[in-house]
Amino acid sequence: MNAFASATYSALAAKSTPPQGALGSAGAGITGGYTGDSLSLKIIIAFLLGLSLYNAIELIVLLFVTFQRYHGLYFWSLLVAAFGVIPYSLGFIIKFFQLLDPSQDEGYVAVVILTIGWYSMVTGQSVVLWSRLHLLTNSRCILSWTLWMIIINGTLLHSITTVLTFGSNSHSLAPATLQRFVKGYSVMEKIQMVGFFVQEAILSAVYIREAIRMLKLSEAARDDVQSFDDGTGNGHVRNSHVRKTMNQLLAINVIIIVMDLALLGVEFANLYLIETTLKGVVYSIKLKLEFAVLGKLVQFVRNRAASSNSSDPRRVSYMRDRQATSSGAAIEKIGTNRTQHINRMKSSIVRSNGSATRSGTSPLDSNVQIDPNVHHFPDFVDPVRVSADVTHAQPVDSVEDVDPGWETRVLEDGENWRRRTKVNRGSWIDQEMDKHNIG
């Protein structure tokens, strides 16, 4: 059996490996490891796989240092995707440099390790993009369909490719059967890469569309005074921060599409060694870019909510009415106190006139102290009906003009929750959306 397996690998190596040092030798390596003697190609393989490991370890350290709480779909998907790069790279190091004999059962160890890492790295990266998608769009249709797209693509493309990968690295098959597995794997590798590229392109397209929409809103808000000065003096800074974040989000999604296109070009050039090693570098860089920018979306959404509250016309009108009502009430109170004081003075004058008449003296001779600050109205003016409210503001009678406080928001949230619970919530996708209050 060992002699048969060695003869099979020798025949495939002699048939599939071009002359030593040729660039076409990068197309070998599907079965077993790299059997050529090109030192430059070996250096490229080692460099790319080492760079992938470095990026993954650095990202994992940054995750544990940056996050204060280790929970949430975004954190765990990013962590799983970053950890997936490590077994993916280690598996190909073992496979290509033949650290374990590919003609023995121990050769499957490398295939198992790289396959597990490939699952986590590729699908995990799409889940990272999806986990922050609800911050830009609350469309249940978009969120649900994109999540089902990730699940279906991952199930179909990963499963079929895994079967062909193990068949292509089997050491117990006949040479003709093994060659058919290799051809099938070569075709399926291109199909699955196109499938995952379309998947990530769709997710990136949603981000790009929403980022452009936010940029247009930000540009339109330049002429809005409240967007520049919301009462705290931070309106202009906030608006600039929104544009900067959206530009970065737009840039990383364009970079993701460009890197995926470059990876597709290498795959369709049949450079298997370069494609598999370059894939780890590309996905680790994409994860670092997403970690750098997607984390800012939370603060962006908070700023947008605060800005919308400060620029809400109903809220601003309500605050102005409250200020006017408060000012009117204060003026009314002052006018009432002044009127009462005038009435007391009039009573005092009347009593003085009465006493002066009874005593036979003139009221002008009495020592009556009159406050010079008090307004003296003519006899035909009733001081009680005089009001100091010069605003003539209409009283707030309707509930619609009142700012919805936290009691109203609690009632509205409860009503929304009761409305959502009327629908069947058997799907864990709906539960995930409800956790983010989507829809």
CATH for 166: 1.20.1070
Cα-to-chain-centroid distance, residue 13: 48
My answer on whether 349 and 229 are in the same domain is no
My answer on whether 199 and 248 are in the same domain is yes
Overall number of domains in the chain: 3
Average pLDDT across the chain, whole number: 74
Average pLDDT over residues 73-100: 94
More confident residue, 411 or 344: 344
> What is the 3-state secondary structure of the chain?
CHHHHHHHHHHHHHHHCCCCCCHHHHHCCCCCCCCCCCHHHHHHHHHHHHHHHHHHHHHHHHHHHHCCCCCCHHHHHHHHHHHHHHHHHHHHHHHHCCCCCCCCHHHHHHHHHHHHHHHHHHHHHHHHHHHCHHHCCCCHHHHHHHHHHHHHHHHHHHHHHHHHHHHHCCCCCCHHHHHHHHHHHHHHHHHHHHHHHHHHHHHHHHHHHHHHHHHHHHHHHHHCHHHHCCCCCCHHHHHHHHHHHHHHHHHHHHHHHHHHHHHHHHHHCCCHHHHHHHHHHHHHHHHHHHHHHHCHHHHHHHHHHHHHHHCCHHHHHHHHHHHHHHHHHHHHHHHHHHHHHHHHHHHHHHHHHHHHHHHCCCHHHCCCCCCCCCCCCCCCCCHHHCCCCCCCCCCCCCHHHCCCCHHHHHHHHHHHHHHHHCCCCCCHHHHHHHHCCCC
Closest CA to 199 of 245, 251, 248, 158: 158
Is the pLDDT at 199 greater than 90, yes or no?
A: yes
Digit-coded pLDDT (tens) for 146-175: 999 999 999 999 999 999 999 999 888 898
My answer on whether 149 and 242 are in the same domain is yes
Which among 310, 331, 364 is the end of a domain? Answer: 310
pLDDT at 301: 67
My answer on whether 270 and 133 are in the same domain is yes
Torsion angle, alpha carbons of 344, 350, 354, 355, to 10 = 40
My answer on whether 399 and 413 are in the same domain is no
CB count, 10 Å around CB of 234?
16
Domain that holds residue 344: 315-403
Which among 291, 310, 329 is the end of a domain? Answer: 310
pLDDT at 359: 46
My answer on whether 50 and 177 are in the same domain is yes
Digit-coded pLDDT (tens) for 267-314: 999 889 999 999 999 999 999 998 888 777 776 666 666 555 555 555
pLDDT at 134: 84
Going by pLDDT thresholds of 50, 70 and 90, the confidence category of residue 107 is confident
My answer on whether 338 and 425 are in the same domain is no
Digit-coded pLDDT (tens) for 216-235: 776 666 555 444 444 555 55
What is the pTM assigned to this prediction? 0.65
Q: Rounded to an integer, what distance in angstroms lies between the CA atom of residue 89 and that of residue 95?
A: 10
pLDDT at 372: 54
Is the pLDDT at 179 greater than 50, yes or no?
A: yes
My answer on whether 436 and 398 are in the same domain is no
Which among 260, 290, 310 is the end of a domain? Answer: 310
My answer on whether 410 and 397 are in the same domain is no
My answer on whether 367 and 396 are in the same domain is yes
pLDDT at 68: 85
My answer on whether 91 and 75 are in the same domain is yes
My answer on whether 20 and 50 are in the same domain is yes
